[in-house]
Structure 1
């Protein structure tokens, strides 16, 4: 029977020490609620009194009535002082938390160099601080900082630190690989040794990713007897980050058979990872295991052909177990299986025996050779497949556009776009200004169509990326533009390629509008609006 484990999330404390990550009090409260829904057992909220954000967080988090235990972080009392007079320990009490995480030195080198005190005084600092908080009714989690380095340098003293914490009443003894330099074999051996010496004490593990082994080290510690795992969502943290709970949790539960979360909770893992990345305003790596958009994406034709028969051929788990999904990519590596699978996903019928399928594949490969990329532009791919299948009604025909970009001394650049379309047999000519030429084009294009298709009022351009494809050609280089558009319920991506960034942008914009209008009916034009549009010809 598998052993139950406790997940300790420190995204809100250790995670915010990562470069480029800053969370407001509101952000931290939103993430705490999401972590609680995921089912983690402990949520470390920060350091009480260290800043106004953490003070506000600890005050407001009580109102959320979370199932997880909220913990506050702090260090042991100062040397040659008394625990009950220590401001740091008293701030933990004032925060109203159920549990406290106390960090103390376990490496004799740090005791002498960083604390500049004696080994005995360090043991007293640890014991006094834990005993004080226990007397006040708190659960105490002791984080033995630099434990593995300390153990390798002075085993007896590192063990003495844990024994001192246990004797003072610590509920958990957490071994920290603070510098992230330990190897999985070392971690397993040391935790095994500690387990044999401390008997029934509850052990935890806290690993950093400086050797890209934080997850492996956490798993090794659990296999050696640790039952609390500390880490962060998406591995956020100082330097190279912490153990990534988005990998730790499914590895423990789906691979090693430990009890961690319910099946329903682990099914929220992908959503949680992406939610936290959005709140933190940090892009989630596409290739992040388990939760990345590419974690179950298949591109090679041989792979796709096999997974269509049985997904186990190229997938180590069912992606739905962690809330992710299988994706079939269409690219220059695509075979017939890729196109057929993608078309089926989009509700487009292709006959495998038809030469049309081969022509579509070749057309895609030719476009990819020119610089197009459909892996991140499903909407453009769908328009291409629908056009090839004769399965689309074009709502408008492009005739021309002109751009005016004016810069005068002491004033901002003014961009204006003029667009001429044929919409249902009527010539429509509009003009619009924008924050730059692409925004002006976007505004003019939608202005020309919104009279006929009011749905376009609901959509907007939400992201815009340009990539230079031939850097050696400098300013004459071909560029690829990727555009993300959104409406009230969904988002979609389109692509354009040209030596001219405006033309590439226009191509992606047009595809975005075409995609938005799939399934839209063609109403009668409003004569008053038609007259207004025609009046712009002489603007």
Structure 2
């Protein structure tokens, strides 16, 4: 019922390039198409296109569905012919085709011919178990093309069980396949499906073939992020083409070369897929990295002054102490401002205290934080509780500041990570805290390092708030 409701609702939707397809299996053994409940449900969906899958592997025919090889051929042909009476287009997915072809090539090809003879518009070759390698895909497609009618549209459906989902799809395209199935970000069962976010730019940019409308290619990163959000999955930082690290440069020699010409260390223009170049700061950075980041942050930094070298030396000293700024660029921006004497203190700390108290073994421990600040010369002394010491400290700090800076109410802590830097020291080890914050318009990362986890958290919290206030002030907000 839920699926049918979806198709009823989507019938009124207007799409520029997409087409909705219903998806189901061939008829059951010994059942006429008009009496098969699954086929009737497909017809009721009312979509312009239907896709059905059938068995290509003789082992599956006799073992999984328990019928004869001849009945399976009839099931394929009958189902395609019946659905052609109700749909503009019928796509046939040949399930387990590559495995079936390896074991019994003659029968696997006969299943395709049954669908073709019944009028299927496209024959999709499926690597359902995801175990085929690119050379096997290519060889099999060549054999298929020798058997089917010239010009019969072929498709590929690849899984990623041996990390070849994208490669197998591209090899298939190279062999003349013009229908590629996959998913955004490769999300799917087991190890995932072929990743369309990689396939699309490979086909268009690298292979020079038409795929989606050219202007839409620039939306690729946004689409990838949107689907990640819908799936409640964290974006893959190193995802080809669209990940944050896809066009990121760390080493000073690399950055210096990219500044002279991007092609020295980039295989394409990142803006073609909606991404952008990133320069990272770490102990591997050179002066070119510092100058790039200054320009990115809108900070006036002359390469002929010692400022860039001083900032670089400070960066390397802090990284030696355990700081890491690759995921905490807001902290690095503030570090640069402080080093150049441009930093404005939005408040001054007089002191803070955190207490965790357990009154009764049957109750959760209570965390309470007290903060003493001076804001614009006015002393503030606030206390707040939380579901942990860091949460309580965050609440107390905001409570003290929001009266003076109401825009802090927009801000929230999105992620909190703790890393023990020297595990051999056990509970006495130095701790690095990474905090991700956001306000609906932007997200930013900050870092703190200390022997005390509360102090490390305080450093990251303060940087997070100061970054928000500084950014809003630059934009004319208070």
- TM bucket, shorter chain: over 0.9
Match of 2:79? 129
Deviations 1:366-412, CA, capped at 9 Å, x for gaps = 21122211111111000000111111211111121011222232333
User: Which of residues 347, 351, 376 in structure 1 aligns to 2:302?
Assistant: 351
Alignment of 1:63-462 (within 5 A): 63-67=12-16, 68-198=18-148, 199-409=150-360, 410-462=362-414
Deviations 1:244-264, CA, capped at 9 Å, x for gaps = 000000000000011011221
SS of alignment partner, residue 222 of structure 1:
helix
CA RMSD between the two structures: 1.6
Deviations 1:254-293, CA, capped at 9 Å, x for gaps = 0001101122101000000011011101112111100111
1:422 Cα deviation (Å)?
A: 2.1
Equivalent residues of 1:392, 1:518 under 8 A apart: no
Alignment of 1:474-489 (within 5 A): 474-489=426-441
1:451 Cα deviation (Å)?
A: 2.0
How many residues matched? 471
Show structure 1 runs of 5+ residues with no match.
1-48, 523-539
Q: What TM-score results when the alignment is normalised by the length of structure 2?
A: 0.95
Q: Structure 1 residue 473 and structure 2 residue 422: aligned?
A: no
Equivalent residues of 1:485, 1:493 under 8 A apart: yes
1:473 Cα deviation (Å)?
A: 2.6
Q: 1:338 to 1:201 in 2, by over 3 A?
A: same
Deviations 1:223-259, CA, capped at 9 Å, x for gaps = 1111100000011111111110000000000000110
SS of alignment partner, residue 103 of structure 1:
strand
Structure 1: 4+ residue segments shifted above 4 A = 519-522
Equivalent residues of 1:195, 1:225 under 8 A apart: no
1:520 Cα deviation (Å)?
A: 6.2
Equivalent residues of 2:301, 2:308 under 8 A apart: yes
Equivalent residues of 1:263, 1:321 under 8 A apart: no
SS of alignment partner, residue 376 of structure 1:
coil
Distance 1:128 1:521 in 2: 69
Distance 1:111 1:370 in 2: 64
SS of alignment partner, residue 274 of structure 1:
helix
Show structure 2 runs of 5+ residues with no match.
none
Structure with the larger RCO, 1 or 2 (CA within 8 Å, 6+ apart): 1
Match of 2:10? 61
Equivalent residues of 2:50, 2:87 under 8 A apart: no
Equivalent residues of 2:354, 2:368 under 8 A apart: yes
Q: What TM-score results when the alignment is normalised by the length of structure 1?
A: 0.85
1:474 Cα deviation (Å)?
A: 2.6
Distance 1:456 1:402 in 2: 22
Match of 1:508? 460
Distance 1:381 1:487 in 2: 19
Q: 1:181 to 1:443 in 2, by over 3 A?
A: same
Q: Structure 1 residue 463 and structure 2 residue 412: aligned?
A: no
Distance 1:104 1:521 in 2: 62
Equivalent residues of 1:234, 1:273 under 8 A apart: yes
